[in-house]
Structure 1
């Protein structure tokens, strides 16, 4: 719908927002966030990017390696604190995870 409105004529972002019943900053953000490399808004590309962002947002700790996760799980099984686990990861030469990240894993029942 946004694409049609922008193609139909000389509607400003404010006019498009009024027609769609949303705030003009929503239109501005949508257009800015989803511009193609050519600087134009393409709805199919915008939808694909939106789906990618949604998918990535639902994958907590996606950058944590399996070996680091195993060390975190093992440490928690052995009743080590997140601070101790973070220290062991660093000592083992694994990727660096802060104790805050490990606490977030615990709160979200992740490992």
Structure 2
């Protein structure tokens, strides 16, 4: 039995050495193909200005509704003032951002009326 275990060990060890000595045969890997991204489409300045004006008009309407219900938050008013200033400076991105925030805050102020008053 001892003889067979030594033979088995030698055979096993020989197979391991032979496996390590053989070179790997693998297919050559092709380099990845890099595709340049398509250029961004041109943004129409008139469309951006029209969108900013639409956001500003919506904010004006929401602020008027909140003020009529006495639910206007001061931050909503401040955002509307900033949106008006940005519109006067022809900054469409800032106009859209401030007008959207003013509209959201005015709507939150009106939603707050549904909750009971805290004493």
TM range (shorter): under 0.3
**Greater RCO, CA 8 A, separation 6+:** 2
